[in-house]
Amino acid sequence: DANDTEKGLYPHYMLKEIDEQPSVMRKIISTYTAENGSVAIDEHLVEKIAKSDRIYVVACGTSWHAGLVGKKMIEELANIPVEVHLASEIGYDMPLLSERPFFIFISQSGETADSRQVLVKVNELNLPSLTITNVKGSTLSREAENTLLLHAGPEIAVASTKAYTSQIAVMLYLAKAIGDYKNLKLAKSFDIAHELGLVASAMDTLVSEKDKLAEISRDYLLTTRNAFYIGRGLDYAVSLEGALKLKEISYIQTEGFAAGELKHGTIALIEKDTPVLAIITGEDTASHTRGNVKEVESRGAKTMVIAMEGLQKEGDQIIIPELHALLTPLATVVPLQLISYFACLQRDLDVDKPRNLAKSVTVE
């Protein structure tokens, strides 16, 4: 049960929270779908955002990574340009704002000080805002004009998992609601409950592949000092999140890179057996990323591919069931979470409480 704060039979909260993701997706579908099938988000909020000319997403850490995915969804379904900012940067260095900006704060805890200092400034400027958070009544929720809740249940492990996927799902509902409000064709024809239902089923399959993922983790990560995750577009966004997940609990230096940027510098770091994990779900970019995999392979890298059904090639280690192109991050991140979990266990480290990190950071 996602609302349980006990581990139950689970050895770690992180594993429990990874496993809860399919049911959290289903909970979001039932909460955000109205009886007539439309999106259950307050129409005043939807109208306000629809009338803005640019959305500024502000967040930290994993929530910032979710924002990168949300940007794509909002731009595609709602046709409003989106900028995604790190709270600790934008707060001290405001970009030139558009005429009718709208601010969206993404925060699992709703308590992150870096994000809050930006919201204080946004309120001083009298600009409209929304907080997307897991915690009702949290500081960011109270101080923003509007709130949307994640309904993910308490997330206790420091490494965020179900909050990431629920943030993306809630932003998808928001994007769909705005697009519907504006009568946009792409949004109207997007059957969100159906597509997210497919995601939940794909997650069910992926979380059942633990043995295989533990083996992959042992094979690729047990003794390495570093690792690289690559992808393009949304796969790049997930590379960043996958790399963060691995580094924060296994202490393996892991970086996510835009696959095409490798050749402009990072490829110099590839040595014999350096793990390079590629995510391939984009039809238009698959062959380019395949090319990057070959390039690092020929320099000694030990490569691994997560591919979506239909784009897979013989030898790919992990196959993601076919999903709507906007929703692949919700599935590709799951094996990456599990690989990180097992890498941490295999190194005998503290899964739920990694060194030097806090679940919620209340200092700037």
The CA–CA distances, whole Å, from 153 to 3, 20, 123 equal 4, 9, 29
Looking at beta carbons only, is 26 or 116 nearer to ligand G6P? 116
Closer to ligand G6P by CB, 133 or 303: give it: 133
In the complex, the smallest distance separating the C-beta of residue 146 from ligand G6P, rounded to whole angstroms, is: 17
State in angstroms the smallest separation of the CB of 88 from ligand G6P: 10
Binding segment for ligand G6P (CB under 6 A), chosen from 75-83, 119-127, 217-225, 353-361, is 353-361
Distance CA 136, CA 110 (A): 8
Q: Give the one residue of 125, 355, 357, 364 binding ligand G6P; rule: CB under 6 A.
A: 357
Provide the sign of the torsion angle of the four alpha carbons 50, 121, 358, 218, taken in this order: positive
C-beta of 108 vs 165, nearer to ligand G6P: 108
Query: Is residue 115 a contact residue for ligand G6P (CB under 6 A)?
Result: yes
Euclidean distance between CA atoms 298 and 292, whole angstroms: 10
The nearer residue to ligand G6P, 88 or 274, going by C-beta atoms, is: 88
Residue 359 falls in the annotated catalytic set: yes
| Residue 130 makes contact with ligand G6P by CB under 6 A | no
Nearer Cβ to ligand G6P (160/166): 160
Residue in this structure with the two tokens 């704002």, named with its chain if needed: 97
Distance of CA 142 to the CA centre of its chain: 24
Binder of ligand G6P out of 49, 58, 60, 307 (CB under 6 A): 60
Least Å distance, CB 61 to ligand G6P, is 3
67 binding ligand G6P? (CB under 6 A): no
Q: Which of residues 71-110 bind ligand G6P (CB under 6 A)?
A: 107-109
In the region spanning residues 156 to 185, those forming contacts with ligand G6P, defined by CB under 6 A, are: 158, 160
Q: State the minimum distance, in angstroms, from the CB of residue 214 to ligand G6P.
A: 23
What is the rounded distance in angstroms from the CA atom of residue 183 to the CA atom of residue 77? Answer: 10
Answer yes or no whether residue 62 interacts with ligand G6P by CB under 6 A: yes
Q: Output the smallest distance, CB 72 to ligand G6P, in A.
A: 19
Q: Which stretch binds ligand G6P (CB under 6 A): 10-18, 260-268, 294-302, 355-363?
A: 355-363
CA torsion 16→21→22→27, rounded to 10°? 110
Q: Considering the complex, what minimum distance in angstroms separates the CB of residue 240 from ligand G6P? A: 12
Burial class (CB in 10 A: 0-12, 13-18, 19+), 272: exposed
Q: For residue 281, which amino acid is it?
A: T
Q: Which stretch binds ligand G6P (CB under 6 A): 3-11, 54-62, 200-208, 274-282?
A: 54-62
Q: Which of 121, 210, 353, 359 is catalytic?
A: 359
Binding to ligand G6P by residue 361, rule CB under 6 A? Answer: yes
Identify which of residues 108 and 217 has a Cβ nearer to ligand G6P in the complex. 108
Residues recognised as catalytic: 359
Instruction: Give residues in contact with ligand G6P (CB under 6 A).
Output: 60-63, 107-109, 112, 115, 158, 160, 357, 359-361
